Amino acid sequence: MSILINKDSRIIVQGITGKEGSFHAEQCHKYGNNVVGGVTPGKGGQTVLDGIPVYDSCSEAKAATDCNVSLIFVPAPFAGDAVMEAADAGIELIVCITEGIPVNDMMKAIPYARRKGCRVIGPNCPGLLTPGGAKVGIMPAHIAKEGSIGVISKSGTLTYEAVHQLVAAGYGQTTCVGIGGDPIIGTKMTELLDMFQADPETEAIVLIGEIGGQMEIDAAKHIKEKITKPVVAFIAGATAPPGRRMGHAGAIVSGADESAEAKKRILSEHGAHVVDSPAFIGETMKKALQG
C-alpha cells in the first residue's frame, strides 16, 4: 500500500513539451509506465516519448485518458492557471513542481482546486514517489526502495538525504511526499500524517520541516492527539539568522515559534523523535521502531 499514488495512477504532465517537463515525464513513465498523456496548449495532436499523446487542454486529456493525477511543470507566470485548469477538468490530484509562483496566484488557485474537490501538492516541491509503484515528480527514484516508512518533507534534496539514510539503515518507504517550501501550499503536514496513520503498510513516519511558518507546530499537536505510529522529525535551519530568507520563499523566521529550536522543542514535547541532523534519521528510526 501507499498514499496518494500507486501503480494504477493515470498521470498526465502539464508542460510535457517543455525542457523540464519532457525530461521528467520520461523519467516518471520509465518508472511506473503510467504516464497516459500530456498537455501543452497549441500542441494538441502531437505525440511525445514514443507515443504519449499531447492534448491542448486538461479537459480534453481527461476525456481521452481518464487521468486522475496531473504533474505540473508549467513556468511560474502560468502555473496558477494550470492548477485551476486541472481542477476544472476534475483531476483529483494535482502535483505542482514549479518554483517561484507569486503567492497571490496560489492563494486563489489552491482554494479553487479544493472547492472542486481536488488536492494540490506543492508548489515548489519535488513531488511524490511510491517506490515500486509510481513516481510523480523529480525525486531520484533509484535511491528509494519499497518498505514501510512514510516520508513528509518541505525540502527536495533533504528528502533524498532522508531516504538515503533510511535505506542505509535498512528501511524502505511506502510513499515519499515533498510538500513544498512556499508560504502557501496545497497539502499540509497534518493531512499527510493522517493519511500515513490510516495506511496499513506504513509503520512509521519521517517528518522534515524547516524554519518559518506554523505548520510543524500544528503537526506536533496532531502527532500527540491523533498519530500512534512513531514519527522521526528533523527541522532544518537551526543556524539560520532570524529575518533572513534561506532559499525557500517560506523559509524565514518571523516569530519566536518559527525557529528551528522552537519547532524541535515543541515536536519533542508532543512525542516526536527529534534529531539534530539528517545524518541521524536512520539510527533514530531503528530505535523508535524497536522501542
Catalytic residue, chosen from 24, 29, 248, 273, is 248
- Select 20 or 92, whichever has its Cβ closest to another protein: 20
Contact (CB, 8 A) for 66 and 42: no
- Select 61 or 86, whichever has its Cβ closest to another protein: 86
Mark 251-290 with x for binding to another protein (rule: CB under 8 A) and - for no binding: x---x----x---------------xxxx-----------
- Select 118 or 215, whichever has its Cβ closest to another protein: 215
- Residue 164 makes contact with another protein by CB under 8 A: yes
- Out of 6, 10, 143, 172, point to the residue binding another protein (CB under 8 A): 143
CB of 63 to another protein, least distance (A): 28
For 282, residues 6+ apart whose C-beta sits below 8 A from its C-beta are 165, 166, 168, 169, 171
- Residue 219 makes contact with another protein by CB under 8 A: no
For 115, residues 6+ apart whose C-beta sits below 8 A from its C-beta are none
270 in catalytic set: no
Q: Which residues in this chain contact another protein in the complex, by CB under 8 A?
A: 76-77, 100-104, 107-108, 110-112, 126, 138-140, 142-143, 153-161, 164, 181, 183-184, 208, 210-215, 218, 234, 236-241, 243-251, 255, 260, 276-279
For the annotated catalytic residues, the residue numbers are 248
